[in-house]
């Protein structure tokens, strides 16, 4: 059926007499890509179920065009909107193609079987969702991500103007997440509409035109990602600090959630200098901050994954130009940060001729009496791109007193002076 708008007017949804959604309004029109975000248990899924005609509101109206959604025939609604649930309800051994063809049921007459056009629609939908190669596989033998893509293909085969989706990316790897969201964005640009509950705020920011933030069953904020995704809103709604920057390519908001800030120098933990690179130290930065350490890092090339995280966490760093060998100036800046530190941690970074001097800096730290830890979940032989030079420096560090561990918790406990309980 043709549809113009879907409207929720002062919708309340309740379970056992207790409201989980209270007074939310929404209007969805052709071309809209709307994201619904909020903490777990805030009412996002319940609201989406009400929009999909699977959970009748306790109070309020949901209109499809000018008609009450809940008085319309099910088949008529199914020709206008499709729902992708958060949990896959299929447990029988249907093949993937059979499941996708179920999306054609609203378009078939009573006892009418699928025809060539329905098969063509199903194949097109499965190709878009990258599951056509799974057509003959039973869905109960597929992985969670594969099943999710089959359900998405079923909704696409339903050929509606509006898709309602409850965390459709949750079982997908990043490649399929981005492929799906690009496809949905293109569908909206062609006049269809999507309303999506989404957990990942950065994906929501990059693809949604409008966001609604729900907190405790009520609308807390609404607007474009730039209007909604502010540090103040995220602190109030999710209870966490954040830095909101601009994505370098899209210029849309990019959120980095923070542990307790680095702040001034009054920290209960030690001053730790992290020698890292290639995103090998990003999680260590966060965990050390969370344990009260004052953290510095270097030498890092501008644009390196660790440099970007360090900049967002507002830690002091010695930096070098992108794709450049470490200069004498940057090396000296790194040594100055090491001189100020009590502990030096060397991550399992890859070492080439351009950053070999960072291991020499760790040797200097030992001569200054610093505690030096070598975090090595991957052997140095796998990360040495200097024809043995890095491995030789690594062995010298261990001979002269550096401590090696592949256990992250052991490392963090040693650095901050914790001792794990035995037994």
Mean pLDDT, rounded, for 153-160: 94
Q: Band of the pLDDT at 261, cuts 50, 70, 90?
A: very low
Contacts 24+ apart (CB under 8 A), 118-126: 118/157, 121/157, 121/159, 122/97, 122/153, 122/157, 124/156, 124/157, 125/100, 125/153, 125/154, 125/156, 125/157, 126/96, 126/97, 126/100, 126/150, 126/153, 126/157
Q: Please give the Cα distance from 334 to 24 (Å, whole number).
A: 54
The pLDDT tens digits of the residues spanning 369-418 come to 999 999 999 999 999 999 999 999 999 999 999 999 999 889 998 888 75
The whole-number pLDDT of residue 263 equals 40
Per the document, the length of the chain is: 423
The whole-number pLDDT of residue 305 equals 83
The whole-number pLDDT of residue 89 equals 61
| pLDDT(171) > 90 | no
Q: CB–CB of 400/366 below 8 Å?
A: yes
Percent of the chain with pLDDT over 90: 63
CATH code for residues 5-255: 3.40.50.300
Q: Is the pTM of this model over 0.75?
A: no
Q: Would residue 239 be called left, alpha or beta, if left means φ above 0 and alpha means ψ between -120 and 50 degrees? A: left
271-416: CATH topology is Rossmann fold (3.40.50)
Q: Please give the Cα distance from 46 to 55 (Å, whole number).
A: 7
The whole-number pLDDT of residue 96 equals 93
The pLDDT tens digits of the residues spanning 202-218 come to 999 999 999 999 998 89
Would you kindly state where each structural domain of the chain is located, as residue ranges?
5-255, 271-416
Q: Please give the Cα distance from 241 to 288 (Å, whole number).
A: 16
């Amino acid at each position: 059926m043709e549809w113009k708008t879907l409207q929720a007017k002062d919708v309340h949804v309740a379970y056992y007499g207790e409201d989980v959604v209270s007074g939310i309004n929404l209007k969805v029109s052709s071309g809209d890509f709307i994201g619904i975000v909020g903490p777990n248990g805030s009412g996002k899924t319940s609201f989406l179920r009400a929009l999909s005609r699977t959970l009748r509101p306790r109070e309020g109206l949901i209109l499809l065009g000018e008609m009450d959604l809940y008085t319309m025939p099910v088949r008529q609604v199914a020709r206008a909107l499709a729902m992708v649930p958060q949990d896959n309800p299929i447990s029988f051994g249907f093949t993937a193609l059979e499941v996708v063809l179920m999306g054609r049921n609203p378009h078939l007459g009573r006892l009418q079987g699928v025809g060539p056009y329905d098969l063509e629609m199903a194949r097109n939908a499965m190709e878009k969702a990258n599951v056509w190669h799974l057509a003959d596989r039973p869905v109960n033998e597929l992985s969670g991500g594969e099943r999710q893509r089959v359900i998405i293909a079923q909704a696409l085969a339903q050929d509606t103007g509006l898709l309602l989706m409850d965390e459709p990316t949750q079982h997908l790897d990043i490649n399929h997440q981005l492929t799906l969201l690009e496809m949905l964005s293109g569908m909206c640009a062609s006049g269809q509409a999507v309303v999506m509950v989404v957990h990942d705020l950065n994906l929501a920011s990059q693809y949604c035109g409008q966001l609604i933030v729900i907190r405790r069953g009520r609308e807390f904020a609404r607007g474009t990602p730039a209007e909604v995704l502010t540090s103040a809103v995220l602190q109030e709604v999710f209870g966490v600090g954040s830095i909101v920057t601009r994505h370098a390519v899209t210029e849309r908001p990019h959120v980095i959630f923070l542990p307790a800030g680095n702040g001034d120098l009054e920290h209960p933990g030690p001053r730790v200098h992290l020698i890292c690179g290639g995103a090998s130290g990003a999680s260590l930065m966060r965990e050390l901050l969370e344990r009260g350490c004052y953290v510095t890092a270097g030498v890092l090339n501008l644009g390196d994954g660790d440099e970007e995280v360090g900049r967002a966490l507002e830690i002091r760093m010695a930096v070098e130009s992108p794709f450049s060998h470490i200069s004498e100036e940057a090396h000296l800046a790194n040594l100055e940060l090491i001189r100020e530190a009590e502990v030096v941690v060397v991550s399992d970074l890859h070492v080439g001729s351009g950053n070999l001097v960072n291991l020499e800096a760790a040797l200097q730290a030992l001569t200054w009496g610093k505690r030096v830890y070598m975090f090595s979940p991957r052997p140095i032989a796998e990360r040495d791109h200097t024809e043995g030079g890095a491995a030789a420096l690594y062995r010298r560090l261990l001979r002269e007193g550096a401590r090696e561990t592949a256990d992250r918790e052991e490392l963090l406990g040693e650095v901050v002076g914790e001792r794990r309980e035995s037994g």
